[in-house]
Amino acid sequence: MFKYEGAFITNIKNNKVMDVSGNRDQENQNIIVHGKHGGLNQQWDIVYVDEWKGEPKKGEMNEEFGFIVEEDFYIISDMPQHRYLQALNDRNLVVKTKNGLRE
Domain borders along the chain are: 2-42, 52-100
For the stretch 51-100, pLDDT in tens is: 888 888 999 998 888 999 999 988 888 888 888 888 888 778 888 887 65
More confident residue, 76 or 11: 11
Do residues 44 and 7 make contact, with C-beta atoms less than 8 angstroms apart?
Answer: yes
Q: What is the value of pTM for the model shown? A: 0.58
Q: 42: exposed, middle or buried (C-beta count within 10 Å: 0-12, 13-18, 19+)?
A: buried
Do residues 36 and 10 make contact, with C-beta atoms less than 8 angstroms apart?
Answer: yes
